[in-house]
């Protein structure tokens, strides 16, 4: 974080400053900000956020022992460091993030990119951060820090030297993206796709589209909207962008895209295409598996172009990215048994894309194996979407379908109903049972996809299988 006095922070947060020890209102702090006492380092600022399971106020002492020099709290606590008492710790995070980013932006060259979409946010964020890192100091979220806590924590990592801030915005309901993105008003607003991920929180895909369009409504006037021309709901958002005074850049495989892909090829060693930009045509060879990641790459190239990075330069940098993120199409195992651990998240769109990738990368004499868990947060769509994925798995001729957990039973029934039975499909109660089954079932030449929503936890099963066949 940038250097601020205790008095300045208290004023920004409309909080009550309680100095301790040798501190005064003029004492300056500039350490990192976090809500996790385990992440504290010398000079850090600890935000004691109440949670559903525990309360951050219980960990102030642990934070101080680890090096924290300031605690932001909702009630006074007994501690040896200064504290600022605020009405709402989460709101305090947002207020501090807004103020810090505004100061850095006013003082220097800071450019900000915001990314949203039902799928692909984290991969696109990582792609773009890789491109921009060679241009100057770049701050981007760790993992999927895209909610009301994670997004401000990312923003608070900017310093006077930061040139680029890449933000990822998710939301559990209407108004969430507008609130988070409104803290920084991105110069470039990237919308990837509108799908059924988290549909249970929005009620319908139309409501999801309205939520994603909030990013454009709070983007910096005079900035740029980077929109997926292949998704009709996203491309329709150009009207929102124009109302905001944004230029529009389309990406995708459709005609009219400013950054376009042709000749997409998916193999076990990666994904390739030809990128077309203006009068240029150049190859892109991603190490990351899956045709769906071409769209994420095009979005990153287009966003980087808004910031002045030539498309061919951006593409060359993307070719150095080995994996999108841990547990996202992550290759594991060995040449005999290859594991693709893609179980950090799952929606109907990402599940279908992963299954298609599995089918595409499996050659003659090799066997496809899909280990599938439930897709969560789909609300009323859950049943029919699990049915659809089960049907797709059979129609893609996936040779072994292993369904894990009671929440995914509907998927298994759809597989059986489509004609896959005997040893072709099994339903197992939990990860341990699945691991024991797969340990005896997998053989040389198997190509194995592990896919589920994060809360189901099959990523850990994928890790175990990767280690078993390493």
Q: Which secondary-structure segment (H or E) carries 214?
A: helix 205-217
Rounded CA separation 362/268 (Å): 7
How far is Cα 469 from Cα 301, in angstroms, rounded to an integer? 36
User: What residues does 114 pair with on adjacent strands?
Assistant: 167, 189
* Element (DSSP H or E) covering residue 313: helix 311-318
Q: Which of 130, 229, 145, 241 is nearest to 188 (CA)?
A: 241
Q: Are 2 and 97 in contact (CB under 8 A)?
A: no
CB 458 within 8 A of CB 447: no
Pairing of strands 82-85, 16-18: antiparallel
- Find the helix packing angle between 311-318 and 121-133, rounded to 10°: 110
The answer to whether the CB of 139 falls within 8 A of the CB of 111 is no
- State the angle between helix axes of 382-395 and 409-417 in degrees (0 to 180), rounded to the nearest 10: 40
Annotated binding site for ATP: 117-123
At residue 287, φ and ψ (nearest 5 deg) are -80, -15
CA–CA separation, 252 and 66 (whole Å): 47
Scored b (16 or more CB within 10 A) or e, 236-275 reads ebbebbeebebebbbbbbeeebbbbbeeeebebebbbbeb
DSSP-assigned letters across all residues of 217-232: HTSPTT-EEEEETTSH
Contacts of 364 (CB under 8 A, 6+ apart): none
Residue 404's alpha-carbon distances to 377, 440, 454, 462, in angstroms, are 17, 16, 13, 12
Q: Which two tokens stand for residue 240?
A: 């929102």
Distance CA 186, CA 332 (A): 36
Task: Report the C-alpha gap between 376 and 197 in whole angstroms.
Answer: 8
């Amino acid at each position: 974080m940038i250097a601020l006095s205790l008095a300045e922070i208290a004023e920004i947060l409309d909080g009550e400053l309680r100095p301790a020890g040798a501190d005064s209102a003029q004492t300056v702090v500039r350490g990192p900000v976090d809500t996790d006492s385990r992440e504290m380092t010398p000079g850090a600022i600890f935000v004691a956020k109440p949670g559903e399971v525990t309360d951050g106020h219980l960990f102030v002492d642990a934070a101080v022992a680890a090096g924290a020099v300031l605690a932001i709290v909702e009630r006074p606590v007994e501690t040896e460091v200064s504290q600022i008492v605020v009405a709402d710790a989460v709101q305090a995070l947002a207020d501090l993030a807004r103020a810090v980013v505004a100061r850095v932006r006013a003082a220097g060259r800071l450019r900000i990119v915001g990314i949203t979409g039902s799928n692909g946010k984290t991969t696109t964020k990582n792609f773009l951060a890789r491109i921009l890192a060679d241009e100057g100091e770049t701050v981007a979220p760790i993992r999927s820090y895209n909610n009301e806590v994670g997004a401000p924590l990312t923003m608070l990592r900017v310093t006077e030297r930061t040139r680029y801030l890449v933000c990822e915005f998710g939301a559990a309901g209407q108004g969430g993206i507008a609130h988070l993105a409104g803290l920084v008003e991105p110069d470039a607003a990237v919308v990837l796709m509108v799908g059924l991920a988290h549909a249970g929180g929005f009620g319908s895909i139309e409501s999801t589209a309205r939520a994603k369009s909030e990013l454009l409504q709070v983007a910096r006037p005079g900035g740029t909207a980077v929109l997926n021309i292949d998704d009709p709901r996203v491309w329709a958002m150009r009207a929102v962008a124009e109302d905001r005074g944004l230029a529009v850049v389309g990406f995708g495989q459709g005609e009219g895209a400013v950054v376009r892909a042709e000749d997409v090829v998916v193999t076990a060693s990666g994904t390739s295409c030809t990128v077309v930009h203006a009068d240029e045509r150049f190859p892109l060879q991603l190490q990351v598996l899956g045709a769906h990641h071409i769209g994420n790459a095009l979005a990153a190239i287009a966003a980087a172009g808004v910031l002045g990075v030539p498309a061919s330069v951006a593409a060359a940098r993307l070719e150095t990215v080995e994996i999108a993120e841990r547990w996202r199409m992550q290759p594991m195992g060995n040449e005999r048994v290859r594991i693709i651990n893609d179980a950090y998240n799952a929606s109907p769109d990402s599940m279908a894309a992963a299954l298609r990738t599995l089918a595409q990368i499996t050659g003659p004499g090799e066997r496809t194996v899909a280990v599938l868990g439930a897709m969560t947060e789909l609300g009323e769509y859950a049943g029919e979407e699990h049915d659809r994925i089960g049907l797709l798995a059979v129609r893609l001729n996936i040779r072994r379908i292993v369904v894990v957990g009671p929440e995914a039973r509907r998927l298994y029934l759809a597989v059986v109903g489509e004609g896959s039975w005997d040893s072709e499909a099994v339903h197992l109660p939990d990860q341990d049972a699945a691991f024991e089954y797969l340990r005896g079932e997998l053989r040389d030449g198997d190509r194995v996809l592990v896919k589920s929503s994060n809360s189901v936890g099959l990523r850990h099963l994928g890790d175990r299988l990767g280690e078993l066949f390493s």
